[in-house]
Amino acid sequence: MLNNSIIRVLGLILGLLFLFSININSQINKPEYDYSFETVKHLDIFYSLYKELNLYYVDPIVPGEIIKTGIDAMLKSLDPYTVYIPETKIEEVRFMTTGQYGGIGALIQKRDEYTMISQPYENSPAQKSGLQAGDIILEIDSKSIKGLDTEEVSELLRGEPNTKVNIKIMPVGSKETKTIEIIREEIKLKSVPFYGMVEDGIGYINLNDFTNTAAKEVKDAYLELKKNNMLNTIILDLRGNPGGLLIEAVKICNLFIPKGETVVSTRGKVAQWDKEYKTTAEPLDTQIKVIVVVNNMSASASEIVAGCMQDLDRGVIVGQRTFGKGLVQTTRDISYNTILKVTTAKYYIPSGRCIQALDYSHRNPDGSVGHVPDSLIKEFRTKNGRKVYDGGGVNPDIVIEPEYFSNITSSLIQKNLPFDYAVNFKLKNPEIASPENFKITDEIYNDFVEWLQDKDFDYQTETEIKLNELIQKSKDEKYFDLAENEINILKQKFAHDKNKDLQLFKDEISEILAQEIIIKYYYQNGLIKYSLKNDPEIIKAVEIAKNDTEYKKILSVE
């Protein structure tokens, strides 16, 4: 039966929420609607429903689990960013804002029933203890991890710094097991994993996220580049950067734009979330050319930086349209050491546009969410008068069409075959050339092709997919029998040949293979160094940086 303590707690919650609803109602500009009554009414229904379930449902009910399920479903109906964080997940909030956690410092991935080390971080406890990419984790502190997902394994690996964890592994290339004792450390992932010069006068800074040290790391990288070089351009790479702390985006913009400029403003339902964020410090450099590189996974704070630089005509944006997340979240401490991360406002960049792509407030009948329709997209103007638009992400000044993998390359990646080959390659080759000089030779590529011969991977070409659709349609419309012989001939002609495709798509497969090999020796820092050589967006950014006339033309009104 529902015990008295639960009844008292639920009663207290109802009372507090009644007062809360009155407070919110006074701040919402809709006096004609009685939010107070509706809130109490439906909370009472929820309470009554839970009581009935607890009394009469055939199996025992675990209160925490069923309530969490209800909370998650409720929040899911709003937007993906409003989430309930239980006490057990508080450490994840800290990691998102600081990039810090206590652990061994390694990326892991599921491999069959066990978990595998996919990459130890450079200079981490994992790397210093000898763990390598490809090692299979069997036990953690004598607990078998068979069948556990990666999140559960991560929980076991993490812990307070200076505590011990014993990991039983099957090392890559061996059938013998061994146990390694690792002392956990405070792991701090850098927001700027790499910076350097790509050509004379052109500096490059890669920014992974917007933790609470992001602006300082960008500033330090700039000053280091400036100290040793005649710097005239900074390329700021925000590709794949999911965002983070809004204030860090403001500080980063402040490095290159004058004091007192509005970077972003936020507007929400409650007046306290209406804020304007201006630059508050003297900038480092208002004259240096700035080129921001983005893609469709550059989101939130990344879009604030890119959008601000575009709207103030302070930098050229290169790449693909950004993600389109124009919603601001605030964390609210609630009962029993839990947290609600709630969307409290939308943000607007200097031109006045909001770059939110999906309209969560108006769902389709089936519950799906649509993009802002073209008819509602509005035109805005940058500081120099250039036309820009809202309705979904920041559209670059220079658009670089994304490159897509062939079906065979996608299949190889999905099966982790380049990864597995790179692991074995490192066992046989203790050293390789530097990231700047390494390349996949014909000898290495042919060895990879030979290694693949007994590996299980398959795929369909686009031609085969379309032909299968034609066959199905012809069967539906009763025409298949009339053309069966001709269709079978086409199937034979269009059937893919793995070995032929391995040669046809050699260049893109070699690039993936090189990246997997490089990261095994030189970690993320080396991977970025290598990738810059053949990166279409960076090549274009360098081209623009070397042409003052073109750079100025992009930022002016024709």
Identify any residues that bridge with 137 across adjacent strands, giving them in sequence order.
Answer: 115, 169
Is residue 411 among the annotated active site residues?
no
- Give every CB contact of residue 458 below 8 A, 6+ residues apart in sequence: 411, 498
How far lies 387's CA from each of 151, 313, 354, 355, 395, in Å? 45, 11, 14, 14, 11
Active-site residue among 289, 325, 520, 540? 325
Are the C-beta atoms of 170 and 135 separated by less than 8 Å?
Answer: yes
Buried b (16+ CB within 10 A) or exposed e, 490-526: beeeeeeeeeebbeebeeebbbbbbbbbbbbbbbbbb
Active-site residue among 79, 237, 311, 397? 311
Is residue 311 among the annotated active site residues?
yes
Active-site residue among 118, 300, 302, 510? 300
Would you say the C-alpha torsion 189, 191, 195, 198 has a positive or negative sign? positive
Number of H helices and E strands in the chain, helices first, is: 18, 21
**Tokens linked to 221:** 């990288």
Is residue 300 among the annotated active site residues?
yes
Q: How far apart are CA 53 and CA 60, in angstroms?
A: 9
| E-state strands within 211-313 | 233-237, 262-268, 275-278, 289-294
Torsion, Cα 520 523 524 527, to 10 degrees, reads: -60
Q: How far apart are CA 180 and CA 96, in angstroms?
A: 29
Identify any residues that bridge with 26 across adjacent strands, giving them in sequence order.
Answer: none
**Number of residues written out for the chain:** 558
Q: Amino acid identity, residue 27?
A: Q
Q: How far apart are CA 157 and CA 150, in angstroms?
A: 10
Catalytic residues: 300, 311, 325
